[in-house]
């Protein structure tokens, strides 16, 4: 990218930003005057009447900036492709605006999206992934409509849709700068993206929590459709190259750039189907809502999803520079992390009714499939197949220092044996009888036995089949370590997420626990899990001086009884929990008297365990 294009891109961004900063408050005033406001509903998140028509400001800021640029440089500079794209996104914008003004039926809105997408594909915007024109066209239509609606569904919390769209567009611009040879778009594509980014950022100033204006469907459909159209061009030139791995690297770019809307839409679709709800109906069941439900503030929930968008975008850029062997490993590990985190969010209770899994009367094929999958742990076994394959692949990658080469054929022919023996060992040793949320050290010992047996069986079978010719003993030693680590981390993931989330989302009165032993740790667990207590643990004090300065379950031991008054002052302690089983009542009275003597208004309570 030369300096001329760079300066034009920067100017375009700032023009669009200023236009958006000026247009957004004007549209807010107009919406309030005309009565186009979002009214609070049970299925919506906002709590007051909020102006709509923010999407008009985003669209106008983008379109006016690009029109001005076209008049300045000439229409030929942007080219026919620009006119085709702007015509299509303008049609989608008008469709969304009609829905904001007149509340269209979902099926009519979907039909309009399909028509516009079909026209855009007919005029040359489509993937060239498979080499089969009909299949590529169908994939392109599905992509355009799917991503458009994914951003529409993502518009469920202040600043979320605009922020994720801004991040995605930013990475698309970065991809265009870093890999211009892989873009099927004209050289001026950065001008379009820069105007779009500026318009989104200007709107985000007014839309971030607490929002004073919403974008409505006019904005979310416009954002989703434009990003879907632009990401179709990322890697378009490279996609003409043959080879399965080539195609995978091309597919990864657009998917990772808009991964979070895809994941959120998948979560909402699956969970609503499981609970017998229509996918098109509103609800507080999106990723952002679930993050709030487990204790995050609205701002922090949005920032967490921003973080995932940034990570996904970075991955889209980085994998282009990595050897395919390493890139594949990084992508699989990241997707597994995404999978575990969103399954964790999917467990959050957001519906009053029960899932179809727990209902006695089930009709149709979907409930039956869900029942089979749930009862027989099919998904757990399938996940283990992925983890076993990944561990074996990592072992080869480390053993041969990233250059598997001719040994990849050996890897492939032995992989089925490794999978079969490990799954068999897991079954025999009872790995599939455990409950993930209660995984303990004893369970990990069972995993170790199963992994050891599976590895030994694999080696014996390979020895019998191939005399172990071409195999490396070091590979199996490395495999044992990684498969045990992957299986253990997978099953500990929910506990780790629980503890990490609970610790970072505690709110309430500052509490100090007296006693860092088993009783104190039980008191800590109760404070973390029981929101009704309204407490936030600060740390422990303990009479055992060897514990001072140490950390227990992630919380510091701040000192002993003689340090109590200093700690109360320093940390603003409002409540002290005495966890002693013996002499607990006497200790409680002594602490209460000491605090009253110096005029400290601190409540002192004693923890008691009662079994009736």
d(CA 270, CA 276): 10
Q: What would the mean pLDDT of 199-224 be, rounded to a whole number?
A: 95
Q: Where are the domains of the chain?
A: 3-356, 379-502, 506-606
The more confidently predicted of residues 346 and 244 is 346
What the block records as the tokens of 461 is 């079978």
The more confidently predicted of residues 235 and 281 is 281
What pLDDT is stored for residue 249 in this prediction?
Answer: 62
Tell me the pLDDT tens digit for each residue of 476-515. 999 999 999 999 998 888 777 777 676 666 678 899 999 8
d(CA 88, CA 225): 9
Residues 6+ apart with CB under 8 A from 22: none
d(CA 292, CA 209): 14
Residue 135 pLDDT grade (very low, low, confident, very high; cuts 50, 70, 90): confident
Highest mean pLDDT among 32-41, 174-183, 275-284: 32-41
- Contact at 8 Å (CB) between 222 and 177? no
d(CA 291, CA 299): 10
What the block records as the tokens of 497 is 């997420």
What pLDDT is stored for residue 373 in this prediction?
Answer: 45
Crossing angle for the helix pair 259-274 and 244-257, to the nearest 10 degrees = 80
The CATH class of the 506-606 domain is alpha beta
What the block records as the tokens of 202 is 């200007």
Look at residue 374 and tell me whether its pLDDT is greater than 70: no
Look at residue 536 and tell me whether its pLDDT is greater than 50: yes
How far, in whole angstroms, is CA 376 from its chain's centroid? Answer: 27
What pLDDT is stored for residue 242 in this prediction?
Answer: 47
DSSP β-bridge partners for residue 397: none
d(CA 66, CA 63): 5
Q: What would the mean pLDDT of 556-577 be, rounded to a whole number?
A: 90
Look at residue 466 and tell me whether its pLDDT is greater than 70: yes
39: left (phi over 0), alpha (psi -120 to 50) or beta: beta
Q: Is 594 helix (H, G, I), strand (E, B) or coil?
A: helix
Tell me the pLDDT tens digit for each residue of 257-277. 999 999 999 999 888 887 777
What pLDDT is stored for residue 182 in this prediction?
Answer: 58
Look at residue 377 and tell me whether its pLDDT is greater than 50: yes
First to last CA, the chain: 75
Q: Is the peptide bond before 210 cis (omega within 30 degrees of 0)?
A: yes
* Tokens 């996609």 belong to residue: 239
Q: Is 577 helix (H, G, I), strand (E, B) or coil?
A: strand
What pLDDT is stored for residue 498 in this prediction?
Answer: 73
d(CA 67, CA 64): 5
Tell me the pLDDT tens digit for each residue of 273-304. 877 777 767 678 899 999 988 888 899 999 99
What pLDDT is stored for residue 349 in this prediction?
Answer: 80
**Angle 224-229-232 (CA atoms, 0-180°, nearest 5)?**
120
Tell me the pLDDT tens digit for each residue of 69-111. 888 877 776 667 778 889 999 999 999 999 999 888 888 999 9
For residues 114-132, one letter each, b for 16 or more C-beta atoms within 10 angstroms of the residue's C-beta and e for the rest, the string is eebbeebbeeebbbbbeee
Residue 353 pLDDT grade (very low, low, confident, very high; cuts 50, 70, 90): low
Which class for 601: exposed (0-12), middle (13-18), buried (19 or more C-beta within 10 A)? exposed
φ, ψ of residue 158 to 5 degrees: the values are -50, 125
Instruction: Name the DSSP class of 188.
Output: T
What pLDDT is stored for residue 503 in this prediction?
Answer: 64
Q: What is the DSSP string of 392-405?
A: HHHHHHHHTTT--T
* Tokens 């001008």 belong to residue: 191
d(CA 393, CA 387): 10
How far, in whole angstroms, is CA 167 from its chain's centroid? Answer: 14
φ, ψ of residue 552 to 5 degrees: the values are -125, 120
- Contact at 8 Å (CB) between 515 and 582? no
What integer best gives the mean pLDDT of the chain? 85
Classify the C-alpha dihedral 406-408-412-417 as positive or negative.
positive
What pLDDT is stored for residue 368 in this prediction?
Answer: 43
Residue 2 pLDDT grade (very low, low, confident, very high; cuts 50, 70, 90): low
What pLDDT is stored for residue 492 in this prediction?
Answer: 86
């Amino acid at each position: 990218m030369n300096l001329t294009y760079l300066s034009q891109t920067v100017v375009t961004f700032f023009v669009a930003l200023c236009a958006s900063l000026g247009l957004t408050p004007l549209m807010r005033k107009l919406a309030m005057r005309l009565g186009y406001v979002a009214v609070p509903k049970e299925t919506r998140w906002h709590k007051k009447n909020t102006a709509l028509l923010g999407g008009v400001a985003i669209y106008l800021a983008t379109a006016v900036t690009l029109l001005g640029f076209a008049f300045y440089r000439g229409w030929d500079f942007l080219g026919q492709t620009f006119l085709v794209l702007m015509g299509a996104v303008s049609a989608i914008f008008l469709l969304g605006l009609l829905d904001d003004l007149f509340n269209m039926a979902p099926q009519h809105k979907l039909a309009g999206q399909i028509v516009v997408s079909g026209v855009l594909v007919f005029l040359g915007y489509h993937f060239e992934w498979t080499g089969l024109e009909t299949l590529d066209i169908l994939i392109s239509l599905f992509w355009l409509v799917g991503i458009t609606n994914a951003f529409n569904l993502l518009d469920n919390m202040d600043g979320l849709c605009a922020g994720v769209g801004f991040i995605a567009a930013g990475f698309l611009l970065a991809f265009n700068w870093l890999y211009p040879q892989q873009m099927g778009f004209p050289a001026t594509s950065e001008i379009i993206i820069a105007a779009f980014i500026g318009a989104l950022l200007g709107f985000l100033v007014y839309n971030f929590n607490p929002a004073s204006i919403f974008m409505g469907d006019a904005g979310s459909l416009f954002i989703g459709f434009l990003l879907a159209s632009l990401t179709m061009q990322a890697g378009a030139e490279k996609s003409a190259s043959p080879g399965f791995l080539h195609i995978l690297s091309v597919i990864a770019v657009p998917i990772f750039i808009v991964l979070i809307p895809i994941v959120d839409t998948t979560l909402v679709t699956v969970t609503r189907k499981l609970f017998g709800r229509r996918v098109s109906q509103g609800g507080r069941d999106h990723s952002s809502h679930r993050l709030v439900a487990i204790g995050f503030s609205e701002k922090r929930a949005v920032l967490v999803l921003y973080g995932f968008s940034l990570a996904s975008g970075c991955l889209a850029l980085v994998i282009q520079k990595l050897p395919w062997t390493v890139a594949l490993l990084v992508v699989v590990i990241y997707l597994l992390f995404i999978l575990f985190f969103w399954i964790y969010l999917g467990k959050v209770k957001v519906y009053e009714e029960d899932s179809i899994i727990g209902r006695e009367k089930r009709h149709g094929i979907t409930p039956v499939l869900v029942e089979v999958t749930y009862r027989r742990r099919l998904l757990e076994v399938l996940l283990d197949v992925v983890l076993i394959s990944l561990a074996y692949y990592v072992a080869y990658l480390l053993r041969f220092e990233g250059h598997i080469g001719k040994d990849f054929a050996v890897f492939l022919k032995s992989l089925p044996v490794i999978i079969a023996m490990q799954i068999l060992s897991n079954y025999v040793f009872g790995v599939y009888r455990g409950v993930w949320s209660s995984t303990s050290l004893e369970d990990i010992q069972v995993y170790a036995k199963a992994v050891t047996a599976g590895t030994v069986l694999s080696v014996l079978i390979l020895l019998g089949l191939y005399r172990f010719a071409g195999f490396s003993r070091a590979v199996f030693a490395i495999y044992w370590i990684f498969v045990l680590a992957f299986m253990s981390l997978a099953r500990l993931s929910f506990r780790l997420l629980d503890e990490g989330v609970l610790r970072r989302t505690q709110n309430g009165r500052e509490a100090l626990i007296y006693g860092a032993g088993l009783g104190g740790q039980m008191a800590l667990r109760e404070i973390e899990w029981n929101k009704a207590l309204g407490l936030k643990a600060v740390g422990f004090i303990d009479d055992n001086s060897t514990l001072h300065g140490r950390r227990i379950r992630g919380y510091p031991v701040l000192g002993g009884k003689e340090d109590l008054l200093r700690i109360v002052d320093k940390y603003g302690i409002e409540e002290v929990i005495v966890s002693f089983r013996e002499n607990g009542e006497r200790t409680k009275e002594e602490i209460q008297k000491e605090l009253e003597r110096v005029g400290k208004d601190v409540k002192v309570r004693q923890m008691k365990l009662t079994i009736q």
